[in-house]
A and B are shown apart, each in its own frame.
Chain A
Amino acid sequence: MSGPADERRAVGERRWLWPSLALPGVLWLVLLFLTPLYAVFAVAMGSPDPIFGGALPAWNPLAWNPGEFRTILGELFTGQLGIVFLRTLVYVAVATFLSLLIGYPVAYYVARHAGRWRVLVLMLIIAPFWINYLMRMLAWVNLLSTDGYVNQALMFVGLLDEPREWLVGKHSTVILGLVYGYVPFLILPLFAALDRIDPRVIEAARDLGASPARAFFAVTLPLSSQGILAGCVIVMLPMFGDYYTATLLSGSPRTNMVGKLIEQDILSGAGSGRGAALTVVLMVFVGILMTYYLYSVARASREART
């Protein structure tokens, strides 16, 4: 008679056990993600401190003042701000695509052909992280100056007849900076995905008569799609918030990204509400894009498998 009751208890315990394993993660999210996020929202819905100039956040939803959101949305749909969002999107898309173009062969080489050099090559890919991102960007400022090494090298090999003015607000320079800065983040997840592919699967494709190219496109590429997806998301998210690459490599309003506008609002006292509202709008914008992107890629990879 007691058998079924014990079983029920055991099932009940297990029901309680598994979700509880997620508890630390949930606490972490609440403490370190949702709370600050609500703080940003409260600052956006608040008002500037009339005496000290900083933000007076509106913690109580009844005290919310959507004025800053109205301003930002107005600028977004009728003003120039929409162009800045579009520019940010194009920069990020092009830079991610180029990163993939550069990163995939590297990851492929390391995973499948690097042999005993593998650890060394991986170390070299990570090595730039030992130097601060901004320091590396400042190095680019010197390299790209009119009489810098980049112009000298390009003129030496005959690609340029006269020095190119890289630093006067060129879109290409900013995209180059983004690609340079973020490409290692893409290589690592790609490497992990390619490394996991069983070489026998590819061998099987070759044995069954597929050409190397066919084997790559029919087997390797679809099997690495999760790595491509992860890598792209990992580089796209920080690129959307990037506020210093364009500032250092260009400094022209022609190439400003949304992150720069947020930064300058937030650092100037009475603008923190504006900056916080812009942050929330950017998050929603990126959130929609990412949802769509993840959904469509997931569907594509499902179709590729079937």
Chain B
Amino acid sequence: MVFHPRERSPWRRPMSRREVLGLMAGTAVAGGLLAGCGSGASSASKLAIGTRENPVEQPLFDDNPAVKSGLEPEDGPLRVYNWADYINPAVLKGFTKEFGNEVEVTTFYNSQEALQKLRTGKISFDIFFPTQDDLPKYVAGKLLQPLNHDYLPNLKKNIWPTLVNPFYDRHSRYTTPYVTYSTGIGWRTDMVSTDVASLENPWEVFWDPEYKGITGLYDEYRDALSVGMYRSGLKSVNDATPDDLAKARDNLLELPDLMEIRYTIDGAYSRLPEGNLGLVQAWSGDTLLALQYVPEGGDPSVLRYAWPPKATRDKAGGAISNDCMAVLANAERPVLAHAFINYFLETEIGLENMSWLGYQPPQKSLDPISMVDKGLVPETLTSAVVAQEDFEMGQITTQLTTEEDSRWIETWSRVQQGG
């Protein structure tokens, strides 16, 4: 199945994961296909896609102003549109207690689904959770409203400076960070004797027949094809040429027979701690979430995480990303929405959310060492905590052009055809 990182990972409760899958079975495919039906030709002009080398300011529009300063929050309920199971319900209750407003959460399972629904303009929510790579589309479609920073004192106070002024949205015009994560390798020391982190090219371990039958990659085209490129030493996955993609394809096509590879959505947070898999591609947040999935009597200290390739002076390192919070253009309660975002940027609230979700907020006061000291993360998984420097060195998945995207999808389909 195909998902964005966020749409699948944090299924905290088994029941909920099943609900999600169940709903997906019924709705996602039909939704994804029919989503195309309502849309006419795009009226938007060019997208402002930022990269680390070329940061961008997202455009402002006269007919889409930010909310004025100095207003009182509106009466609720606050309506939140979010990925399924991507927010700690306890945190929402805390918000209700503090502000006296109910919060209603509506969920989506696929970013394409969310985009198409919001574009109809017929549904109105206050808060939305876009990913950084999708942001340009939402801005171009005037689906988000600019933020009024007067309502968001916690942004500058608590958040990493690099994400207060991120390359994809200079001056945080439309978004604030929600959680951040890297994409690396998770493994169990009781099933994998190699010290994966110390290998020259750690990603090659996925081609080591010693671990046949216990390896898994994410069932997601950008992530999985990247592994195929890393194996050949290709590091910059955003500007892959057709040749690079062909190499990735050929590398991945070796895996079904050589390794009995499995493409899963729950490999890192569920199958790894349960011992069904021993070596998986993993988002750092899934790796921390895995701690909650260790079966009774299991040993969480066997879990490890590495984040290759290492950054060099001229080349960015492994993949890293950031998900955002934003206020929708047609929000009925924009001031309350700002209050909600500001509430989430509190360090304590971000941590409470992480304790349920596994994904960390990019808070200044949190770094790998302090999180280990506070007992929030075991020492063996220090590497699964993202530090601000990591974010500056890592490689960030950016949106591909439609043509490139089609090429990636075609390559991925070939990989999934096997043989």
Decide: B35 and A54 in contact? CB cutoff 8 A: yes
- By a CB distance below 8 angstroms, the chain B residues around A261 are 413, 416-417
Decide: B140 and A57 in contact? CB cutoff 8 A: no
Contact of A260 among B119, B257, B400, B416 (CB under 8 A): B416
Decide: A49 and B42 in contact? CB cutoff 8 A: yes
Decide: B413 and A263 in contact? CB cutoff 8 A: no
Decide: A134 and B39 in contact? CB cutoff 8 A: no
Scoring A55, A146, A167, A279 by chain B CB atoms within 10 A of each residue's CB, the highest score goes to: A55
How many angstroms from the CA of A132 to the CA of B36 in the assembled complex? 28
Contact of B414 among A80, A262, A266 (CB under 8 A): A80
Decide: B39 and A251 in contact? CB cutoff 8 A: no
Q: Mark B76-117, 1 if CB is under 8 A from A, else 0.
A: 000000000000000000000000000000000011100110
Decide: A268 and B21 in contact? CB cutoff 8 A: no
- Say whether A193 faces chain B, with CB atoms less than 8 Å apart: no
Scoring B19, B110, B399, B419 by chain A CB atoms within 10 A of each residue's CB, the highest score goes to: B419
How many angstroms from the CA of A279 to the CA of B25 in the assembled complex? 16
Decide: B18 and A134 in contact? CB cutoff 8 A: yes
Q: Mark A26-56, 1 if CB is under 8 A from B, else 0.
A: 0000000000100110110010111111111
How many angstroms from the CA of A23 to the CA of B227 in the assembled complex? 56
Decide: B115 and A52 in contact? CB cutoff 8 A: yes
- Say whether A247 faces chain B, with CB atoms less than 8 Å apart: yes
- Say whether B324 faces chain A, with CB atoms less than 8 Å apart: no
Interface residues of B in 1-47 (CB under 8 A from A): 1-3, 14, 17-19, 21-22, 25, 28-29, 32-37, 39, 41-42, 44, 47
Interface 9-mer from A101-109, A228-236, A270-278 = A270-278
Given A138-B21, A261-B417, also A271-B263 (CB < 8 A)? no
Minimum CB distance partner of A68 in chain B:
B406
Contact of B409 among A46, A138, A165, A268 (CB under 8 A): A268
- Say whether B74 faces chain A, with CB atoms less than 8 Å apart: no
Decide: B418 and A39 in contact? CB cutoff 8 A: no
Decide: B412 and A264 in contact? CB cutoff 8 A: yes
CB contacts between A and B, total, < 8 Å: 198
CB distance from A108 to the nearest CB of B (A): 32
Decide: B406 and A39 in contact? CB cutoff 8 A: no
- Say whether A172 faces chain B, with CB atoms less than 8 Å apart: no
How many angstroms from the CA of A43 to the CA of B261 in the assembled complex? 33
Decide: A83 and B25 in contact? CB cutoff 8 A: no
- Say whether A81 faces chain B, with CB atoms less than 8 Å apart: yes
Interface residues of B in 393-419 (CB under 8 A from A): 399-402, 405-406, 409-410, 412-419
- By a CB distance below 8 angstroms, the chain A residues around B378 are none
- Say whether B276 faces chain A, with CB atoms less than 8 Å apart: yes
Decide: A251 and B263 in contact? CB cutoff 8 A: yes
CB distance from B252 to the nearest CB of A (A): 8
- Say whether B346 faces chain A, with CB atoms less than 8 Å apart: no
Interface 9-mer from B56-64, B213-221, B310-318 = B213-221
Interface residues of A in 135-185 (CB under 8 A from B): 135, 138, 145-146, 165, 167-169
Given A51-B44, A256-B417, also A272-B32 (CB < 8 A)? yes
How many angstroms from the CA of A54 to the CA of B47 in the assembled complex? 15
How many angstroms from the CA of A165 to the CA of B415 in the assembled complex? 23
CB distance from A168 to the nearest CB of B (A): 4
How many angstroms from the CA of A274 to the CA of B413 in the assembled complex? 10
Contact of A267 among B29, B140, B402 (CB under 8 A): B29
Interface residues of B in 234-268 (CB under 8 A from A): 253, 256-257, 260-264
- Say whether A128 faces chain B, with CB atoms less than 8 Å apart: no
- Say whether B137 faces chain A, with CB atoms less than 8 Å apart: yes
Contact of B262 among A81, A133, A169, A272 (CB under 8 A): A169
Decide: B416 and A274 in contact? CB cutoff 8 A: no
Given A43-B33, A252-B262, A264-B221, also A53-B276 (CB < 8 A)? no
Interface residues of A in 237-261 (CB under 8 A from B): 243-244, 247, 250-254, 256, 260-261
Interface of B is mostly: helix
- By a CB distance below 8 angstroms, the chain B residues around A79 are 414, 417
- By a CB distance below 8 angstroms, the chain B residues around A134 are 18, 21-22, 25
- By a CB distance below 8 angstroms, the chain A residues around B418 are 80, 83-84, 252-254, 256
- Say whether B55 faces chain A, with CB atoms less than 8 Å apart: no
- Say whether B141 faces chain A, with CB atoms less than 8 Å apart: yes
- By a CB distance below 8 angstroms, the chain A residues around B409 are 265, 268, 270-271, 274
Contact of B34 among A39, A80, A83, A169 (CB under 8 A): A39
Scoring B47, B213, B406, B410 by chain A CB atoms within 10 A of each residue's CB, the highest score goes to: B406
- By a CB distance below 8 angstroms, the chain B residues around A274 are 406, 409-410, 413
Given A52-B115, A133-B25, also A269-B405 (CB < 8 A)? yes
Decide: B33 and A54 in contact? CB cutoff 8 A: no
Interface residues of A in 173-227 (CB under 8 A from B): none
Decide: B256 and A253 in contact? CB cutoff 8 A: yes
- By a CB distance below 8 angstroms, the chain B residues around A50 are 42, 401-402
How many angstroms from the CA of A266 to the CA of B279 in the assembled complex? 29
Scoring B2, B14, B274 by chain A CB atoms within 10 A of each residue's CB, the highest score goes to: B2
How many angstroms from the CA of A167 to the CA of B213 in the assembled complex? 9
11 additional contacts (CB under 8 A) given A56-B42, A168-B260 = A52-B137, A53-B115, A53-B137, A54-B112, A55-B35, A75-B417, A135-B18, A169-B256, A253-B419, A256-B416, A271-B405
A-B contact pairs, 19 of them (CB 8 A): A48-B405, A49-B402, A51-B42, A52-B141, A56-B42, A57-B36, A75-B417, A132-B21, A251-B216, A253-B253, A253-B416, A263-B1, A266-B29, A266-B32, A267-B1, A270-B400, A271-B406, A272-B35, A272-B36
Chain B residues within CB distance 8 Å of chain A: 1-3, 14, 17-19, 21-22, 25, 28-29, 32-37, 39, 41-42, 44, 47, 110-112, 115-116, 119, 137, 140-141, 213, 216, 219, 221, 253, 256-257, 260-264, 274, 276, 399-402, 405-406, 409-410, 412-419
